[in-house]
Chain A
Amino acid sequence: MLPDPALTPYPPSARRPLGGVRVLDLTTAVAGPVAALLLGALGAEVLRVETPWARPAHPASALPYRGEGPDEPWNREARLNELANSKRSVALNLTTDDGRETFLDLVERSDVVLENFSPRVMGNFALEWDVLRERNPQIIYVAMPAFGRSGPLRDRISYGPGIDAMSGLSWLTGYADGSPLKPGNFYCDQNAGVHAAVATVAALLARPRVGGQTVELAMLEGELQLIGDAMVGQQLSGREPTRMGNDHSSAAPHGVYPAAPVLGDADSWIAIACRTDEEWSALLNVWGNESVAANPDFATGLRRWKHRAQLDRLLSAWTCDHDPHELAQRLQAAGAPASPVEGARTLLRDDQVRARQSVGGLAHPQVGLSPAPQAGFRLSATPSPPKNAAPLFAVDTVPVLREILGYSAERIAALLASGAASDRLRPR
């Protein structure tokens, strides 16, 4: 029986490794925002620079209102609540001279500019690398184009899932008897986001030696790192690698098997992977199926792999009546790798997730406590969990203009009046 879901608020941390670093985040969609939120959690002050009409006034995916003060649906959009944590929000209209100049003033006082537009867009704003560097030779300019800033496909447009398709990963992902599938919802974006974060910190490390520089993370090239073995393999063997579902290339059983319902949900599964004879013996000890244990077809790893379809059927007939959490516990205790096929609902109830605070809570003024995952590592001396929930739209515009740029009240009022900057959502 799983407990009720619980969220513990993330503790504050004053010792984050990127303290003192300021990032100007122009990114949209998923990949760039993931990079920026990771940098934010690591301690950078991330200013999410939004256009004054950037957020939909009535998003279809608004989270329920659970706050105090005004109810503003654009501040409760689920995806934004996920992707804008650990940032501040500043609204500037970069198509105006004053908005652009304000941005360049921020560049002078920042360490990183991060964007994931198609390659022509920064030029449209007249904010190319040369312009940024002239204002701040120490600036690190991180671009995350889909296909790169050069080459015949430079101006092709695509979101992450379309790049999954062009990398070969979609072609390889799926059932052995089925069509290509996505490797996940926004897998390419997530991958590019983390790669960009690593590259940004690496560029910060190199800055004392080389000064500011450009960093180009073509999303396609980031993903090709993840299937490089397939590319090398097909050259060595002369064969196209194939879709193989959850199968292993040489070990069995290695799959996902039906299990008894969890939380009333019949879509319940357990993953079991026996890579060695020892792990197979451990599985047999729990299974207790003497005919399987005595079957010569399953006596060696190679035979089990050869007869894996038969083995999977027998295993499924056994697992389907078991609670996946209890069965995984028993298999693990015996020495066989197994895990329930978890989902977000069960992870929020999982004792390991709670013990490590893999998903913690952030207090949002309009949706209350809301969940956000941590990155997959813990730093012992500089803890870096997510810092704050997604900021309300433009809530930091005036403080940033005043405190970081030192603009006078009159100048700020003029920027707000002209629409070059904004402290609220405006119609386009």
Chain B
Amino acid sequence: MLELSETAAGAYCGRLLAGFGAAVTLIEPPTGSPLRRRGPFRDDIPDSEGGATHLHLNRRKRSLRINLQSAAGQRLLVESLSDADVFIIDLDRRRWSAQGIDPHAISRRHPQLQVCTLTPYGSDGPKSDWLGAELTAYAAGGYLRIGGEPHREPVKAWGDQGHLQAGLHAALGIVSALAAADEHGGQRIDTAVFEAVAFLLGGGYQHAWFSDREPVRNGARLVGFGPGHLYPSTIRPCLDGWVHAHCNNRYPEAMAILFDQPRLAEPDMLATLFGHADEVDELMEPMLMRTSRRDVVRQAQDLRIPFTEVLAPSEVMADADGHHASRDFWQSTPHPRGGEYLASGPAVRFGETVWRDGAAPTLGEANHHLGTPEQRVRWRRAGVA
């Protein structure tokens, strides 16, 4: 697979498929993928080989450094595609032509190639030329609106979630196209970031269609449910941080035991738990504020009530329960400047086929596989590769 990406969308698509065993080569401009410029960096020193996003999302890929602004670079790319099964493109659509990217022409030239584009709005429709930062595509997909406090502006999920979901959807499109390749050959897989986000809204469309209502964001509580829905599903402070409080959907009355609050099992309460959300929060508070996260969760889980700790990233990695260690999840990975860091392990564990991890490539490390030594000298002098 060849991956021409500059956001987390294409990068995660390639990363996931590399984990499944695909040989993924990242095509980078002479200055490197923009993801290389995203920190944090070790000791806060900017380093195109050592940015956190690059070290995470480009693992187990090769890197080809090719100047697609040049006609020779574009030819090199086209030639490279003749050996590929999949071409992933998440470049801004407005810059396609300047870099020789025309998915239809590529498909015609390589009829067995799966050509996957990832763009903010997809490749057709009246907004197909609209610009999309991750934030604006996320807003366009409707998911931003349900995040945050009702009296404040909507707030998005941390990081690149819109782009990552688009990458995930693109990966599904790619493996599906590969599954159909014997019969249908190559196809175009037209991925829209805003649609991958809009998919997350799920049942929101039912409410909108049948009642012309918009769910209102609800702080840490679930959004769009009536007073008869179960509660809690929320985040509450406790003695040393926060817990995610969630009732047992089958035995909501167990909450009365956990919090020693008989009121939580009274019929009017159980019939409309969500309608009593403020009161439920108040009833939970005394116990929560005198109890640590671990003890709250232990006591809840003993009653089969699915409370969990709200963990900071460093706490996730500290792995107090030894769970990740026992599953060998965090992978010791060489840092290009020496030393090692721990990176996330398998997204999926297959019984027979093996998830593959590896290090992120240094810029252009695979260029020595291109052409003959003479060609490489010529390309380097011409600023092509």
Contact = CB atoms under 8 A, between A and B. Distances in A.
Contacts of B315: 168
Interface in B281-303: 301
A77 to B, nearest CB: 10
Interface string B146-169: 111100111111111100111011
Classify the secondary structure of A's interface with B.
mixed
Contacts of A239: 40
A237 B196 CA distance: 32
A412 interface: no
- Best-buried of A151, A158, A167, A235 by chain B (most CB within 10 Å): A235
A88 to B, nearest CB: 20
Nearest to A162: B308
A15 B184 contact: yes
B55 A232 contact: yes
A159 interface: yes
A379 interface: yes
Contacts of B192: 356, 358, 376-377
Contact of B220 (A7, A181, A228, A258): A181
B313 A376 contact: no
A198 B177 CA distance: 11
A229 interface: yes
Contacts of A246: 135, 153, 155-156
27 contacts: A30-B202, A129-B351, A165-B310, A171-B311, A171-B312, A172-B159, A183-B147, A185-B146, A190-B165, A194-B168, A198-B171, A198-B348, A202-B353, A206-B352, A221-B329, A224-B316, A225-B164, A225-B347, A229-B56, A232-B55, A256-B153, A335-B131, A344-B208, A344-B214, A376-B192, A376-B195, A377-B192
B201 A373 contact: yes
Nearest to A195: B347
Interface in B128-146: 128, 130-146
Interface in A154-188: 156-159, 161-175, 178-187
B96 interface: no
Nearest to A257: B153
B31 interface: no
A60 to B, nearest CB: 4
Contact of A203 (B122, B200, B249, B353): B353
Interface stretch (B257-265, B318-326, B368-376): B318-326
B239 to A, nearest CB: 15
A337 B124 contact: no
A359 B198 contact: yes
A338 B136 contact: yes
A124 interface: no
B358 interface: no
Given A83-B202, A175-B155, A273 B209 contact: no
A153 B323 contact: yes
Contact of B52 (A63, A83, A236, A254): A236
Interface string A40-56: 00100000000000000
B342 A18 contact: no
Contacts of A340: 139-140
B155 to A, nearest CB: 5
A79 to B, nearest CB: 6
A293 to B, nearest CB: 21
B216 interface: yes
B270 interface: no
Interface in A181-221: 181-187, 190-191, 194-199, 201-206, 210-211, 213-218, 221
Contact of A191 (B124, B168, B316, B353): B168
A245 interface: yes
B278 interface: no
Interface string B190-217: 1111111111111111111110111110
Contacts of A237: 39-44
A102 interface: no
Q: Size class of B's contact patch?
A: 35 or more
- Best-buried of A173, A185, A218 by chain B (most CB within 10 Å): A185
A343 B131 contact: no
Interface in B1-57: 12, 15-16, 20, 38-44, 50, 52-53, 55-57
B385 interface: no
Given A185-B224, A231-B316, 4 more contacts: A81-B206, A236-B55, A337-B135, A379-B187
Closest 10 CB pairs of A and B: A376-B196, A183-B157, A355-B125, A273-B133, A377-B173, A17-B180, A233-B52, A344-B208, A271-B139, A214-B351
Given A78-B207, A376-B199, A159 B39 contact: no
A235 B344 CA distance: 12
Nearest to A15: B184
B355 to A, nearest CB: 10
Contact of A347 (B44, B198, B224, B342): B198
B209 to A, nearest CB: 5
B350 A203 contact: yes
B131 A205 contact: no
B125 A352 contact: yes
Contacts of A197: 172
A371 interface: yes
A240 B313 contact: yes
B349 interface: yes
Contact of A205 (B107, B175, B225): B175
B234 to A, nearest CB: 8
B345 interface: yes
Nearest to B47: A236
B133 A254 contact: yes
Contacts of B157: 169, 173, 183-184, 187
Nearest to A375: B169
B314 A205 contact: no
A288 interface: no
Given A150-B327, A337-B132, A173 B321 contact: no
A1 interface: no
Contact of B228 (A60, A335, A378, A384): A60
Interface in A375-396: 375-382, 384
A335 B131 CA distance: 7
Nearest to A331: B131
Contact of B159 (A42, A153, A229): A229
A64 interface: yes
Contacts of A341: 139, 144-145, 154
Contacts of A214: 350-351
Contact of B16 (A165, A198, A245, A355): A198
Contacts of B309: 165-166
A347 B142 contact: yes
A162 B326 CA distance: 21
Nearest to A163: B308
Contact of A156 (B16, B199, B301): B301
B109 interface: no
B98 interface: no
Interface in A125-145: 129
B22 to A, nearest CB: 9
A13 to B, nearest CB: 12
Given A82-B203, A159-B306, A236-B40, A17 B233 contact: no
Nearest to A222: B347
